[in-house]
Amino acid sequence: MKLLGEILIKENIISEKELRAALKKQKENGRRLGETLIAEGYITDENLATALSEQLQVRMVGAEDLIKVDKEALEYIPEFFAREYHCIAKGVEDGVLEVVMIDPEDIVVIDNLQKITSLKIVPYIGAQGIIDEAIERHYKELRTTGEVTEALSGMDFVVTGESGEIDNIDVNELKKELDEAPIVKLVNLIISEAIKNRATDIHIEPLFDSLLVRYRIDGALQDIMTAPKKSAMGVISRLKVMASLNIAERRLPQDGRISIVMPEKEVDIRVSIMPTVRGEKVVLRLLDKKGFAFTLPSLGFEPEMLEIFRKWITMPYGMIIVSGPTGCGKSTTLHAALKEIQCEEDNIVTVEDPVEYQIDKINQIAASEKIGLTFATTLRHILRQDPDKVLIGEIRDRETADIAIKFALTGHLVFTTLHANDAPSTITRLLDIGVPRYLVGSTLNLVMAQRLLRTLCSACKEEYEPDEEELARIKLDPSMIKNKKIYRAKGCVRCRNTGYYGRTGMFELLEVKLPVRKLIYEGKDQDDIRFKAKDAGMLTLRDAGIKKVLAGLTSIEEVLRTTVEEE
């Protein structure tokens, strides 16, 4: 059998000098050579696992092999034992338990496992970091599944008719049921797990024979858990009670809000309930009211774009519009801008529906159409509040647009959002609402379209050489990737096997200077405006995405998913 040190030297992982130093250190600390080499920083735990695999002729298990494990096998080893000895079961069959360990020759651990499980143990080797990540994830899922099962026990109070509709609902009786522990525990579990997993939305969807819970994490929906169909009525009714909605109304859409105060944060939840043919579907939007820690540099601006954006947000008057679909980060960008320009000399007022982030020393007003406090109504009264800068959550109609224009024309700096596909079409959208061309041209300072795209997981992203077809799809010249590292998604325990972890912004900035103003006055369409802006140096959303690819932050596939090619 080869010695461990010989294998590491042969693979050029350590030098002979480093081995001698480690052996000397080992005599002092009494630890194993591998542990000493890691402690001294000469090798990683993966280097050690690879070398031991060769030395002992035991198969090595990587992170991809531990993305999914047999839950039945997992239950054989208590969590405390798995954490203490860095081992995890990956499969069980015919009385044999497959266990991934950091040291497959550790007789004490193997003997204890045989006593605990009464099974024959077949050891595999794995890196400690990978094993510990798998333990964290899979035992957490096991605990969650157990909690759901426990929460669902005794939950058998839903009575359905032949059509599947609820017959003769006794509202008072239902309210009593909703206060009982199982249903409360299940709803709390769904919400708390979403917050822990960085979810922005929770989807609770009725299926034919079950209730599906999905979280939107990093912009993509992921299936999290399913519950029996019988739990649907209780879960949805509990959420209605929490949001002060009518629990007896099941035929019409309803909207409400829930506020949750936790030790470290305060979460505002927007509740949307929509009737479907299989029952009511619920979408919960999670907003961290006290956790606004974003700055403009943290949003993903390219340096030259950030310089342009900062120039315009410090102007004394005019209008800045950020456009894009729902959930693309428009509000986050504008609040980060307000936070940066905030000073004692200015009175900053915002009108939002709802107020997504709370920032000190900014006067934030929550519009509410239910009580008649619309954007337009609120803005008329704000004129008497002596504002310097105004943020309008969204321009939804001509009346709101007219008042926003009036603010911009009378010495105020106005920030707002609009739903549009890109920066040039934002101008067209404003004209479609009914704002005259001469007012659009004279008040607009900057239009910025933005999107959020997923960033590659740093733990598992994989370097590769894209083929000609892939480069052609994104219109990327091969010369542009020369000496550049291009990565793609792979998937691991950390990123829930998606290959992505976190998101970053990409931006398209259209400065409304004289050449663009002339096109607006002349009634030119968005294509003419786009060509003129690109000639002046505007980078499109696709261009911004390509920069992220070349920087190693995201994949070509993700840019193609989130942007379209401009002719």
The model's confidence at residue 443, banded by pLDDT at 50, 70 and 90, is very high
Is the pLDDT higher at 31 or at 511? 511
CA atoms of 289 and 267, how far apart (whole Å): 6
Instruction: Answer whether residue 157 shows pLDDT above 50.
Output: no
Strands 413-418, 318-323: parallel, antiparallel or unpaired by DSSP? parallel
The model's confidence at residue 154, banded by pLDDT at 50, 70 and 90, is very low
The model's confidence at residue 166, banded by pLDDT at 50, 70 and 90, is very low
Q: What percentage of residues in the chain have a pLDDT greater than 70?
A: 92
pLDDT value for 221? 92
pLDDT value for 85? 87
Average pLDDT over residues 480-493: 87
Instruction: Answer whether residue 567 shows pLDDT above 60.
Output: no
Least reliable range by pLDDT among 75-89, 159-173, 360-374, 406-420: 159-173
Q: Mind listing the pLDDT tens digit for each residue in 257-294? A: 888 877 667 788 999 999 999 999 999 999 877 656 78
pLDDT value for 346? 93
* pTM strictly above 0.85: no
pLDDT value for 148? 58
Instruction: Answer whether residue 486 shows pLDDT above 90.
Output: yes
Least reliable range by pLDDT among 24-33, 72-81, 147-156: 147-156
H or E stretch at 82: helix 79-85
Amino acid letter for position 230: K
User: What one-character-per-residue DSSP string does 215-234 give?
Assistant: EEETTEEEEEEEEEGGGHHH
Average pLDDT over residues 499-526: 95
Domain ranges (residues) in the chain: 4-145, 155-288, 296-454+504-539
pLDDT value for 462? 92
pLDDT value for 108? 84
β-sheet bridge partners, residue 507 = 450
DSSP E strands: which ranges in 126-219? Answer: 201-206, 210-217
Least reliable range by pLDDT among 102-106, 532-536, 539-543: 102-106
Q: At what angle do helices 128-152 and 181-196 cross, to 10 degrees?
A: 150
H or E stretch at 403: helix 398-409
Considering the segment(s) 155-288 as one domain, its CATH architecture is 2-Layer Sandwich (3.30)
Out of 221-230, 353-362, 404-413, give the one with best mean pLDDT: 404-413
Instruction: Answer whether residue 505 shows pLDDT above 90.
Output: yes
Q: What CATH topology corresponds to 296-454+504-539? A: Rossmann fold (3.40.50)
CB atoms within 10 A of CB 305: 19
Q: Mind listing the pLDDT tens digit for each residue in 295-324? A: 999 999 999 999 999 999 999 999 999 999
The model's confidence at residue 156, banded by pLDDT at 50, 70 and 90, is very low
CA atoms of 66 and 125, how far apart (whole Å): 12
Which residues are CB-contacts of 382 (< 8 A; sequence separation ≥ 6)?
349, 351, 365, 390
The model's confidence at residue 223, banded by pLDDT at 50, 70 and 90, is confident
Q: What CATH topology corresponds to 4-145? A: GMP Synthetase; Chain A, domain 3 (3.30.300)
Average pLDDT over residues 480-495: 86
Q: Mind listing the pLDDT tens digit for each residue in 34-57? A: 888 888 888 888 888 888 888 888
Judge whether 4-145 and 155-288 match in fold.
no
Residue keyed to tokens 């002729």: 57
pLDDT value for 165? 40
Strands 318-323, 266-276: parallel, antiparallel or unpaired by DSSP? unpaired
Average pLDDT over residues 398-426: 94
Q: At what angle do helices 423-433 and 398-409 cross, to 10 degrees?
A: 110
Q: Which tokens hold the place of 483?
A: 């000496």
